[in-house]
Structure 1
Amino acid sequence: MRLFLLPVSTRRSLIYCEKLHDKAASERGYLDKLTNKASETWVAWESDAKAPLNWKKRVTHMGNQALNRIPFEEWGLKTLPALTPRRKLAITEGTEKWQVIYPGQYLHKERVPEILKQLAKEKQGMYRSKMLWSIVAMPFTAPFALIPVIPNLPFFYFVYRAYSYWKALAGSKHLEFLLQHNLPTPNPSTELDEAYTAGLMYPTRDISRAAPTPTKEQSEKVADVVESLTNGGKEDVMVLQRWNGKLIAEQFHLPDMEVEIERAVEQVEQSIKARDKLVEEKLELEKATAGPGQTAKDALPRHITQPLEEAEKRIHEAAEKISHEKPSKDEKA
């Protein structure tokens, strides 16, 4: 099976698991049938203009907005299948092969295991606790069932969130189990390098389609430019474009990947914009509170700044002492 590790920015990445095939109707369990039925109903509501006051389309519109606020990391983990005893046996016996596909020019190989480990372990506790809270909240939504015509939407919301947290938790445990058995195998992709480079070189999807495929040299140059913009890893820089998700999905014949990429890019872009806005506000506040030729720190009372200065001095003195005590290469020889 193939996992895709797609850096959205220089600090955040999306994981996506390829679906090999859909289960036949006879092989689907009760949960699969219920999930498919819910998806079909939701799609039908989105196009239903005959409901009184157009409530079905209103509900699906608000619901889609709420779904888009779910972190893309959670959506990505949900694409991994649950770790069944059969899959666990196949992994331990080495009969099931896993590889992780990633753009080697935009994601260094040594970072791949670190990112996968973070995605697998970082939020397991949160998914578990929120799943339990969603289950606990379900009975308290029972009174909403008394409202005529409209179904008990709060109840179905908590049912969905409990299911979503369970899927993400199951996916994270599956990924953790793979890492414990030295899987998946890193596999850098030149196709992804070309797609990422095209997304950064060209302004639109149509131009990217018509333009020649970027060369390896061009990919290396663009990747170097992105690396320089991070200011030594201090800044978070976008490397994936929203319109590029469709091209990547088409490249690997995975249409469902397009939605995941678009959602991830939108969330990361909003996060970076919010961070930049906060920095600007802090700079404006510093400018407003400080006097001429001063920073906000200079305007603070002496009883606050003195302990900070003394701590900085002690750290500096300790660093100088360590550097003087460290033996030189000649002394070691």
Structure 2
Amino acid sequence: MRLFLLPISTRRSLIYCEKLHEKAVSERTLLDRLTIKANEIWAAWEKDEKAPGQWKRKITISGNAALKRIPYEEWGLKTIPTLTAKRKKAIVEGREKYHVMFPGLYLHQQKVPEILKKLATERQGMHRSKMIWSVVGMPFTAPFMLIPIIPNLPFFYLVYRAYSHWKALQGSKHLEFLLENGLPKENPSWELDEVYTAGLMYPTRQISRAVPRPTKQQAEEVARVVEQQTNEGTEDVMVLQRWNGKLIAEQFNLPDMEVEIERAVEQVQKSIKAKEELAEEKLELERATAEPGKTAKDTLPKHVIAKLEKAEKAEEDIKQKAGDVAKKDARA
């Protein structure tokens, strides 16, 4: 089984498990059948234009917006299957093979075990408590059953959230069990390095597909510049573009991976942007209270000013190098 550890930024990563083959109808559990049925109903509602006021489509639009706010870490853990007794025995006996693939130039191999352990254990308590509270809240949605035509949406939402937290909890326990048994095996992937580098070098998916794949030298240079931008690990820098999710999914023939990457990139970008806006507000406040003739930057400690100047220079360097590479490829 292949696991993918995909850095979204220099501090945050997405775990994704390659989807196993579809179970035969006879092998599906009751939960499997209910999940499939729910997905079919939701897909039908998205296309239904005959309901009065198109209430079904409006509900799915609002529902999809709510789903996008679920943390990408939860979505990632949900891709890891439940650890059955049969699979657990196979792992202990060494008959089950697991590999974790990651872009070695953008995620140092020595950090992989630490990140996997954090993903496996950090959110277990939260998923357990929220699953319980979702179940506790279900009886309180009974009054909504009195509304005609429209189903009891609050109840079904709590059912879904309870299931989602349970699934993420099972995925985290599976990953934790693997780590306790010396798995998965770490496999740095040059294919991932190529796609990551292309995403940082070129502005669009179309250009990335049209030009030659990045060379190892180009990839190492781009990775070095990204490392410089982090200011010795103090800054969080994006390393994955939203449009790049499709290329990664195509590279490994995993179409379901695309939406997981896009969701994670969007959430991390918003988080970093919010942090930057908070820093800007702080600078504005400092500017307002600064001494006459001084700027907000002047009021900062010297070591902070040095880091800011280093970051600005690193950002200019990566833009210039990417431009030089693009011009060279265009001439070729």
Question: Shorter chain as normaliser: what TM range?
Answer: 0.7 to 0.9
AA at the equivalent of 1:225:
V
Structure 1 match to 2:48:
48
Structure 1 match to 2:303:
none
- d(CA) in 2 for partners of 1:33, 1:74: 22
Structure 2 match to 1:98:
98
- d(CA) in 2 for partners of 1:291, 1:215: 51
Structure 2 match to 1:35:
35
Map residues 2-81 of structure 1 onto 2, 5 A cutoff: 2-81=2-81
The alignment status of 1:116 with 2:89, answered yes or no, reads no
* 1:26-53 deviations in Å (ceiling 9; x for gaps): 1101000000000011111111111111
AA at the equivalent of 1:265:
V
Question: Deviation of residue 291 (structure 1)?
Answer: 3.2
Unaligned runs of 5+ in 1: 300-333
Structure 2 match to 1:319:
none
Structure 2 match to 1:162:
162
AA at the equivalent of 1:51:
A
User: What is the DSSP-based 3-state SS (H/G/I as helix, E as strand, rest coil) of the residue aligned with 1:178?
Assistant: helix
AA at the equivalent of 1:286:
E
Structure 1 match to 2:86:
86
User: What is the DSSP-based 3-state SS (H/G/I as helix, E as strand, rest coil) of the residue aligned with 1:64?
Assistant: helix
Map residues 131-280 of structure 1 onto 2, 5 A cutoff: 131-280=131-280
User: What is the DSSP-based 3-state SS (H/G/I as helix, E as strand, rest coil) of the residue aligned with 1:100?
Assistant: strand
Structure 1 match to 2:287:
287
CA radius of gyration, larger in: 1
Structure 2 match to 1:322:
none
Identity of aligned residues (%): 74
Structure 2 match to 1:311:
none
- d(CA) in 2 for partners of 1:94, 1:59: 47
User: What is the DSSP-based 3-state SS (H/G/I as helix, E as strand, rest coil) of the residue aligned with 1:133?
Assistant: helix
TM-score (norm 1): 0.88
* 1:39-77 deviations in Å (ceiling 9; x for gaps): 011111111111111111110000000000000000000
User: What is the DSSP-based 3-state SS (H/G/I as helix, E as strand, rest coil) of the residue aligned with 1:187?
Assistant: strand
TM-score (norm 2): 0.88
- d(CA) in 2 for partners of 1:273, 1:151: 38
The runs of at least 4 consecutive aligned structure 1 residues that moved more than 3 Å come to 293-296
The alignment status of 1:107 with 2:107, answered yes or no, reads yes
Aligned length: 298
Question: Aligned-pair RMSD on alpha carbons?
Answer: 1.4
Unaligned runs of 5+ in 2: 300-332
* 1:273-298 deviations in Å (ceiling 9; x for gaps): 100000000111121133326799xx
